[in-house]
């Protein structure tokens, strides 16, 4: 707030809702913040969500406010397509090396779209989990912040093509742009690298990747989103059919010692929410939710009650044993034990949604810091630690509200490092 | 300030291809500008330099930039101490309307005139800064949340005043025998650390603790709260910059749970009683003091039950797993039974659940307890249906523990005792079952009283570990509001805004609309009903400006006059031309970005609509509607956020108030024999941009049925 004072700088790694919050909250106390994000846009996982539970409001609404806060506050400096390579030093005085990938589109980009119209190459759209494609030069998604295009280095044919360069009136495309290294000096570090969906193909029995029309809950978010691959019409991937019967498989990988031993916190609420997506588009659809326990803590209970009251939603307590393709129709067939009703259930449905859990991003790539981890890669934070902190889903699977609260606390911890009383 | 106006028109991004720039420039030339320039790439280095040079060399101090949306290139077009008005010729004109069309050109020309009219009347904000801002945080409640908040505040270099109504600090944590594991591998119970936290707080010279005390009154505003504490030594007055409300919870009254035999059988106790018993020694039957060899736990004793508590208390499953472990720890031969609806151990607490499952002396089953009766020799018979075993079971136990839930202290106590015109507590808590929760998923520290931050179990049912996290964040928010008001700036959602509403009180008629309608309780009243502003409570939403029938509430850069001039700047064609004109007042937070998205997607809609961004739909004064109709505008759209229980309005009440006010306007229209649907109020979410073309087309069709505004030309 008080621009004159130089209170010290904070590095926040991860530009999802958690990292964004830490960065903005600290900046609004008066600290300089560097926000480092590996994607070409800020917003992280929540930018891929269609709605938040339980209000069923669009995540873009809160992101817009947070981006406005960044626009108005020069204390937040952000780097996209950037990853922290090393951190050295001590609390109050860290040297950080950040590797910034070549976006190949510079700040001259006005987001006019002329390059896309010229580009002859398609690539799978990772934002939509490969369910559609974009050109090799693309806007990461329609509400992307920053509103700047990017070139997929792997897909782009480079200077041999250069049609986009010709098309751009603003010299915004630089195919020769190379990766850059940025050195930062900061007083404290907050690690907020969040989560990735657990790889459903690891769960052999559930048929993902083998049985057609078995999708993950994150794919369902994109299928339901107006800016998703189907323009928000929920259709099954194999043939575009509007599904009449949908099974949700809870704890797909979570609460399972062969996969993620912990509960991923959000998946029960996420499936209940997705049931509303389906029923809003097709009130006659039948939704079956296979669960172990329905976990809707606190006031989320009200949401559970609302969904339970819909006669087209059937809850079945039982763990799904396997999913196979019906030999004739190819439709997925779910086999589960019905614990309360007794006996095995065998059910053919149009589409299956696996409520896959949250795996910390640090499962794949550890932070260049002295964190300890559990066997799943969750950061085990030392409560006595000074200078370096972890927040959000990097240390515990949580919902958005809990993540934001923790992120706000992490901003305070980062500030305290620089306040020597 | 003597205004020197510069108008800069960008021709890039198809603007130049869609519009007759020569004509537009000629129009700009008639607007009293000292400089009119066009540039093919205004946001590029060279373009921005052109403006910068004019500011420094020509003394331009008021800039109208007719280019892209205000939501992009904010950093490029940021010139200090300069009045800047952005005219959106790209997303809202060139990208969403037919190029080189007469109507598209007229739209661009209107937008340019409107922008100039606004810029001519806007002034640079001068922050309102109060003197003697207090850097002390008042913390209400000395449980784990309040203690944590006070410590974190002190560790950051601010002072805290902690008020606890009991004689001892520590709250419910003090009663705990052990606590649920907080750290990996989440297998073993931990010793409570509350003693150490209490010593840290009482030993901190920057924390002043009042026990056996209560907050009697909180008056004033952020940065300058005046707090009266009723302490055993009498009333104490202190100042505070912010308030953390950590007054916690109380157990649900088990006397209401007679269906489980509480009050009838002495060996039926609550989880709170169980905790105390375990802390004080062996686990015994209250009836005869005999050791309890078998203990049953009923989960959701009142929770998830519409007749008692409709919500889940989040921590009772963990609590009973913990207490079952006590039973086993204290007597290796004792058995524990837990009957639950759903076992709720979210996140890594699942590992603790797993460790309890591995104990063969703990029996866990889903089931509904149907009856509790007395058996032989003081034992209790618990009957359970719908178990995993398939058939009803009867269990004979020595002791039955009811896992009762949490009730927030705010359910029957305002806690804050604010000396505010709108009352002593936080409003509308019935939306959250009495908890002092935030309405916003992304902004969990939002409350309807600026500078007041509920935290811990008064906000939502949560565990000790979660309370610590929550309280740490609350400490940051408290410090943040102190820093913001000390430089005269607003907090969320208009963080950093240094404008504030001016009240021209000589013309106030004491109608009290502003004091009643402000969602944040900013305004108090004198005995006559004249508003007493408290600028540090203000969020700058402008809802008071929308409320005032005398139009005496204005901001330097957002006023009745500024927007009225924009309305009057619209060129209304003669009736014969058959070109209806519609004004759309759009919420700048959600509807405006949605129109931007429509533009990015090149969605096309009627060029007869002129958009006016507003701070909130609640910040629309009905005089603008009258001005519009008097100017011959045929219809008015008001596009804002969802209202109702799950409202999305960032100012809580803005869109709801707008709807209420427009109903009144519609009544007036009926009296004037004008179709009331000429004024249309709509709720739109930011991601509904794809619906905009059809929304607008439908409205235009409806308007076509009404025919032109009969007041056109008067």
Looking at residue A5, what is its pLDDT?
46
For chain B, what are the domain ranges? Answer: 1-124, 136-250+408-486, 253-404, 558-714
Please, what is the Cα angle at A113 between A109 and A115, to 5 degrees?
80
Q: Does residue A1 carry a pLDDT above 60?
A: no
Rounded CA separation A16/A23 (Å): 10
- How far is B101 from chain A, CA to nearest CA, in Å? 20
The model's confidence at residue B487, banded by pLDDT at 50, 70 and 90, is very high
ipTM above 0.90, yes or no: yes
Percent of chain B topping pLDDT 70: 100
B77, B50 contact by CB (below 8 A): no
CATH superfamily placement of domain B253-404: FAD/NAD(P)-binding domain (3.50.50.60)
Helix (H) or strand (E) holding B337: strand B335-340
Supply the mean pLDDT for chain B.
Answer: 96
Helix (H) or strand (E) holding B383: strand B380-385
Q: Which residues of B670-688 are buried (b: 16+ CB within 10 A; e: fewer)?
A: eeeebbbebbbbbbbbbbb
Is B41–A170 a contact, with Cβ atoms under 8 angstroms apart? yes
Q: Which residue of B has its CA nearest to A4?
A: B487
- Chain A segment 26-65 residues within 8 A of B by beta carbon are 26, 28-30, 50, 52, 55-65
Q: What is the mean pLDDT of residues A71-88?
A: 97
Q: Does residue A7 carry a pLDDT above 90?
A: no
Looking at residue A421, what is its pLDDT?
40
Which of the residues B81, B356, B480, B599 would you substitute to probe the A interface, choosing the one with the greatest number of A C-beta atoms within 10 Å? B480
A78, A42 contact by CB (below 8 A): yes
Looking at residue A420, what is its pLDDT?
62
Flag whether residue B390 sits within 8 Å of chain A, measured between CB atoms: yes
How does DSSP assign B452-477, residue by residue? EEE-GGGTS---HHHHHHHHHHHHHH
Helix (H) or strand (E) holding B37: strand B35-39
A191, A14 contact by CB (below 8 A): yes
Q: What is the mean pLDDT of residues B406-432?
A: 97
Flag whether residue A241 sits within 8 Å of chain B, measured between CB atoms: no
Rounded CA separation B312/B470 (Å): 19
Residues of chain B found within 8 Å of residue A407, distances taken between Cβ atoms: 473
Locate all alpha helices (DSSP H) within B331-452, ordered by sequence. 349-357
Q: Hey, do B136-250+408-486 and B253-404 end up sharing a CATH topology, with the first three levels equal?
A: yes
Nearest by CB to B442, which of A374, A400, A411? A400
- Chain A and chain B share a number of CB contacts under 8 A equal to 248
Looking at residue A4, what is its pLDDT?
42
Does domain B1-124 bear CATH number 2.60.40? Answer: no
Rounded CA separation A301/A118 (Å): 51
Looking at residue B127, what is its pLDDT?
94
Q: Which residues of B318-348 are buried (b: 16+ CB within 10 A; e: fewer)?
A: bbbbbbbbbbbeebeebbbbbbbbbbbbbbb
Q: Does residue B390 carry a pLDDT above 80?
A: no
Q: What is the mean pLDDT of residues A162-187?
A: 97
- Chain B segment 518-577 residues within 8 A of A by beta carbon are none
How does DSSP assign A47-99, residue by residue? GG-S-BTTTTB-HHHHHHHHHHHHHH-TTEEEESSEEEEEEEEETTEEEEEEE
Q: What is the mean pLDDT of residues A335-350?
A: 93
Q: Which residue of A has its CA nearest to B646?
A: A55
- How far is A217 from chain B, CA to nearest CA, in Å? 18
Flag whether residue B204 sits within 8 Å of chain A, measured between CB atoms: no
Does domain B558-714 bear CATH number 3.40.50? Answer: yes
For residue B539, the 8-state DSSP code is -
Which of the residues B94, B358, B438, B441 would you substitute to probe the A interface, choosing the one with the greatest number of A C-beta atoms within 10 Å? B441
Looking at residue B713, what is its pLDDT?
74
The dihedral sign for the CA sequence B185, B190, B196, B201: positive
Q: Does residue B7 carry a pLDDT above 70?
A: yes
Nearest by CB to B601, which of A68, A142, A415? A142
As a whole number of Å, the CA-based R_g of chain A is 23
Q: Which residue of A has its CA nearest to B48?
A: A108
Rounded CA separation B161/B53 (Å): 52
Is B43–A58 a contact, with Cβ atoms under 8 angstroms apart? no
Is A297–B72 a contact, with Cβ atoms under 8 angstroms apart? no
Note the pLDDT tens digit of each residue in B93-102. 999 999 999 9
As a whole number of Å, the CA-based R_g of chain B is 32
Residues of chain B found within 8 Å of residue A227, distances taken between Cβ atoms: 687
Is B476–A17 a contact, with Cβ atoms under 8 angstroms apart? no
Q: Which residues of A243-280 are buried (b: 16+ CB within 10 A; e: fewer)?
A: bebbbbbbbbbbbbeebbbbbbbbbbbbbbbbbbbbbe
Q: Which of A251, A107, A347, A294 is nearest to B41 (CA)?
A: A107
B581, B570 contact by CB (below 8 A): yes
Note the pLDDT tens digit of each residue in B305-352. 999 999 999 999 999 999 999 999 999 999 999 999 999 999 999 999
Bridge partners, A334 (sequence order): A323, A347
Burial of B130 (0-12, 13-18, 19+ CB in 10 A): middle
Phi and psi of B134, rounded to 5°?
-80, 135
Flag whether residue B308 sits within 8 Å of chain A, measured between CB atoms: no
Rounded CA separation A395/A397 (Å): 7
Rounded CA separation B141/B243 (Å): 11
Nearest by CB to B156, which of A298, A397, A412? A412
The beta strand positions in A113-194, using DSSP E, are 122-124, 133-135, 137-138, 150-151, 180-186, 188-191
Task: With H, G, I as helix, E, B as strand and everything else as coil, classify residue A189.
Answer: strand
Q: Which domains does chain A have, with CATH numbers?
A: 9-101+179-196+359-418 (3.50.50.60), 114-167 (no CATH), 199-356 (3.50.50.60)
Nearest by CB to B156, which of A57, A261, A419? A419
- How far is A244 from chain B, CA to nearest CA, in Å? 25
The model's confidence at residue A3, banded by pLDDT at 50, 70 and 90, is very low
Task: With H, G, I as helix, E, B as strand and everything else as coil, classify residue B209.
Answer: strand
Rounded CA separation B3/B81 (Å): 12
The dihedral sign for the CA sequence B74, B75, B77, B83: positive
Q: What is the mean pLDDT of residues A374-401?
A: 95
The model's confidence at residue A6, banded by pLDDT at 50, 70 and 90, is low
- Chain A segment 165-224 residues within 8 A of B by beta carbon are 169-170
> What is the CATH number that goes with domain B136-250+408-486?
3.50.50.60
Percent of chain A topping pLDDT 90: 95
Flag whether residue A69 sits within 8 Å of chain B, measured between CB atoms: yes
Q: What is the mean pLDDT of residues A142-146?
A: 94
Flag whether residue A396 sits within 8 Å of chain B, measured between CB atoms: yes
Is A62–B440 a contact, with Cβ atoms under 8 angstroms apart? yes
Task: With H, G, I as helix, E, B as strand and everything else as coil, classify residue A190.
Answer: strand
Burial of A342 (0-12, 13-18, 19+ CB in 10 A): exposed
Percent of chain A topping pLDDT 70: 98
Locate all alpha helices (DSSP H) within A225-293, ordered by sequence. 267-281
B240, B158 contact by CB (below 8 A): no
Task: With H, G, I as helix, E, B as strand and everything else as coil, classify residue A303.
Answer: helix
The dihedral sign for the CA sequence B428, B431, B437, B442: negative
Nearest by CB to B350, which of A255, A378, A401? A255
Looking at residue B391, what is its pLDDT?
83
Residues of chain A found within 8 Å of residue B12, distances taken between Cβ atoms: 110, 112, 169-170
- Chain B segment 576-615 residues within 8 A of A by beta carbon are 589-590, 593, 597, 600-601
Q: Which residue of B has its CA nearest to A68?
A: B71
Looking at residue B433, what is its pLDDT?
97
Percent of chain B topping pLDDT 90: 96
Nearest by CB to B496, which of A73, A232, A299? A73
Q: What is the mean pLDDT of residues B194-211?
A: 98
Note the pLDDT tens digit of each residue in A253-306. 999 999 999 999 999 999 999 999 999 999 999 999 999 999 999 999 999 999
Rounded CA separation B339/B131 (Å): 59
- How far is A98 from chain B, CA to nearest CA, in Å? 23
Flag whether residue B135 sits within 8 Å of chain A, measured between CB atoms: no
The model's confidence at residue B521, banded by pLDDT at 50, 70 and 90, is very high
Note the pLDDT tens digit of each residue in B454-471. 999 999 999 999 999 999
The model's confidence at residue B711, banded by pLDDT at 50, 70 and 90, is confident
B373, B394 contact by CB (below 8 A): no
Is A28–B689 a contact, with Cβ atoms under 8 angstroms apart? no
- First-to-last CA distance in chain A? 21
Looking at residue A399, what is its pLDDT?
98
For residue A408, the 8-state DSSP code is H
Rounded CA separation B134/B535 (Å): 15
Q: Which of A14-23, A102-111, B589-598, B703-712 has the lowest mean pLDDT?
A: B703-712
């Amino acid at each position: 707030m008080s621009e004159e004072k130089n209170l010290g700088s904070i590095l926040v790694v991860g530009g999802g809702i958690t990292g964004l919050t830490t960065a903005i909250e600290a900046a609004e106390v008066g600290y300089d913040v560097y926000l480092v994000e590996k994607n070409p846009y800020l917003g992280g996982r929540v930018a891929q969500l269609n709605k938040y539970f339980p209000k069923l409001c669009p995540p873009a609404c809160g992101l817009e406010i947070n981006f406005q806060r960044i626009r108005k506050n020069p204390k937040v400096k952000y780097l996209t397509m950037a990853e922290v390579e090393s951190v050295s030093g001590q609390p109050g005085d860290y040297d950080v090396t950040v590797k910034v990938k070549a976006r190949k589109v510079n700040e001259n980009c006005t987001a006019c779209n002329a390059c896309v119209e010229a580009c002859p190459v398609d690539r799978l759209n990772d934002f939509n989990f490969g369910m559609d494609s974009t050109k090799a030069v693309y806007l990461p998604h329609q509400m992307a912040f920053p509103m700047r295009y990017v070139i997929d280095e792997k897909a782009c044919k480079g200077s041999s093509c250069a049609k986009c360069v010709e098309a751009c009136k603003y010299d915004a495309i630089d195919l020769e742009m190379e990766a850059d290294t940025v050195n930062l000096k900061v007083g404290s570090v907050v690690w907020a690298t969040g989560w990735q969906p657990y790889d459903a193909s690891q769960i052999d029995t559930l048929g993902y990747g083998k049985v057609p029309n078995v999708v993950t809950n994150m794919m369902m978010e994109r299928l339901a989103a107006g800016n998703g691959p189907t323009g928000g019409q929920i259709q099954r991937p194999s043939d575009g059919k509007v599904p009449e019967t949908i099974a949700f498989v809870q704890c797909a990988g979570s609460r399972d010692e062969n996969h993620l031993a912990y509960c991923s916190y959000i998946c029960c609420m996420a499936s209940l929410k997705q049931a509303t997506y389906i029923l809003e588009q097709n009130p006659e659809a039948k939704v079956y939710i296979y669960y172990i326990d329905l976990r809707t803590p606190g006031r989320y209970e009200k949401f559970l009650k609302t969904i339970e009251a819909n006669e087209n939603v059937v809850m079945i307590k039982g763990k799904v044993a396997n999913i196979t393709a019906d030999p004739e129709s190819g439709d997925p067939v779910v086999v589960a034990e019905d614990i309360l009703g007794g006996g095995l259930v065998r059910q053919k449905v149009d589409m299956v949604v696996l409520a896959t859990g949250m795996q910390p991003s640090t499962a794949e790539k550890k932070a260049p810091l002295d964190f300890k981890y559990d066997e799943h890669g969750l950061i085990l934070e030392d409560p006595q630690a000074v200078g370096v902190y972890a927040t959000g889903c990097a240390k515990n699977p949580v919902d958005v509200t809990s993540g934001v609260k923790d992120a706000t606390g992490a901003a305070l911890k980062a500030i305290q490092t620089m306040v020597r009383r | 300030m003597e205004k020197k106006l510069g108008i800069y028109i960008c021709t890039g991004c198809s603007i130049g291809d869609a519009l007759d720039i020569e004509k537009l420039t000629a129009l700009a030339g008639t607007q009293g500008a000292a400089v009119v320039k066009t540039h093919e790439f205004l946001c590029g280095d060279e373009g921005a330099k052109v403006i910068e040079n004019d500011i420094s060399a020509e003394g331009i101090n008021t800039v109208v930039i007719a280019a892209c949306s205000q939501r992009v290139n904010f950093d490029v077009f940021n010139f200090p101490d300069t009045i800047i008005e952005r005219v959106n010729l790209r997303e809202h004109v060139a990208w969403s309307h037919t190029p080189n069309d007469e109507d598209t050109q007229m739209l661009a020309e209107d937008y340019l005139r409107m922008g100039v009219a606004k810029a001519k009347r806007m002034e640079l904000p001068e922050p309102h800064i109060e003197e003697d801002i207090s850097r002390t945080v008042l913390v209400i409640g000395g449980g784990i949340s309040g203690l944590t908040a006070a410590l974190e505040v002190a560790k950051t270099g601010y002072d805290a005043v902690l008020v606890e109504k009991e004689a001892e600090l520590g709250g419910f944590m003090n009663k705990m025998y052990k606590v649920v594991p907080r750290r990996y591998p989440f297998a073993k119970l931990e010793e409570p650390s509350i003693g150490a936290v209490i010593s840290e707080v009482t030993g901190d010279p920057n924390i002043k603790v009042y026990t056996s005390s209560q907050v009697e009154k909180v008056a004033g505003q952020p940065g300058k709260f005046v707090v009266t504490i009723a302490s055993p030594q009498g009333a104490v007055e202190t100042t505070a910059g912010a308030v953390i409300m950590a007054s916690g919870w109380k157990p649900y009254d088990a006397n209401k749970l007679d269906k489980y035999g509480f009050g009838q059988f002495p060996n039926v106790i609550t989880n709170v009683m169980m905790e105390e018993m375990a802390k004080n020694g062996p686990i015994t039957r209250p009836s005869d003091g005999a050791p309890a060899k078998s203990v049953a736990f009923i989960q959701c004793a009142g929770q998830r039950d519409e007749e008692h508590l409709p919500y889940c208390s989040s921590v009772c499953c963990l609590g009973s797993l913990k207490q079952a472990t006590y039973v086993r720890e204290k007597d290796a031969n004792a058995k524990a039974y837990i009957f639950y609806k759903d076992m709720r151990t979210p996140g890594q607490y699942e590992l603790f659940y797993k460790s309890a499952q591995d104990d063969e002396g703990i029996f866990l089953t889903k089931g509904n307890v149907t009856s509790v009766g007395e058996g032989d020799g003081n034992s209790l018979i618990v009957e359970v249906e719908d178990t995993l075993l398939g058939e009803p079971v009867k269990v004979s136990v020595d002791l039955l523990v009811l896992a009762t839930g949490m009730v927030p202290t705010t359910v029957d106590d305002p806690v804050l005792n604010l000396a505010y015109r709108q009352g002593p507590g936080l409003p509308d808590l019935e939306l959250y079952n009495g908890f002092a929760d935030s309405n916003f998923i992304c902004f969990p520290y939002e409350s309807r009283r600026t500078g007041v931050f509920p935290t811990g179990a008064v906000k939502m049912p949560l565990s000790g570990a979660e309370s610590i996290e929550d309280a740490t964040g609350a400490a940051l928010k408290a410090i943040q509001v102190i820093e913001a008001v000390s430089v005269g700036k607003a907090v969320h959602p208009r963080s950093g805004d240094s404008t504030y509403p001016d009240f021209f009180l000589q013309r106030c008629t004491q109608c009290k609309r502003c004091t009643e309608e402000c969602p944040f309780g900013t305004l108090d009243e004198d005995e006559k009903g004249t508003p007493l502003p408290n600028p540090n409570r203000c969020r700058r939403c402008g809802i008071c400006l929308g409320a005032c029938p005398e139009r005496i509430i204005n901001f330097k850069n957002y006023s009745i006059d500024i927007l009225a001039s924009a309305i009057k700047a619209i060129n209304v064609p003669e009736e014969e031309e058959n070109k209806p004109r519609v004004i759309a007042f759009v919420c700048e937070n959600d509807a405006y970005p949605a129109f931007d998205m429509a533009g990015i997607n090149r969605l096309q809609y009627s060029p007869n609509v002129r958009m006016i961004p507003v701070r909130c739909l609640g910040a629309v004064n009905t005089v603008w509607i009258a001005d519009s109709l008097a100017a011959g505008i045929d219809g008015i759209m008001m596009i804002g956020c969802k209202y109702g229980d799950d409202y999305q309005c960032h100012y809580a009440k803005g869109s709801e108030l707008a709807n209420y006010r427009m109903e009144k306007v519609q009544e007036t229209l009926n009296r004037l024999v004008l179709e009331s649907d000429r004024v249309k109020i709509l709720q739109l979410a930011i991601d509904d941009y794809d619906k905009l073309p059809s929304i607008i087309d439908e409205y235009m069709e409806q308007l076509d049925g009404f025919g032109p505004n009969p007041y056109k030309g008067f």
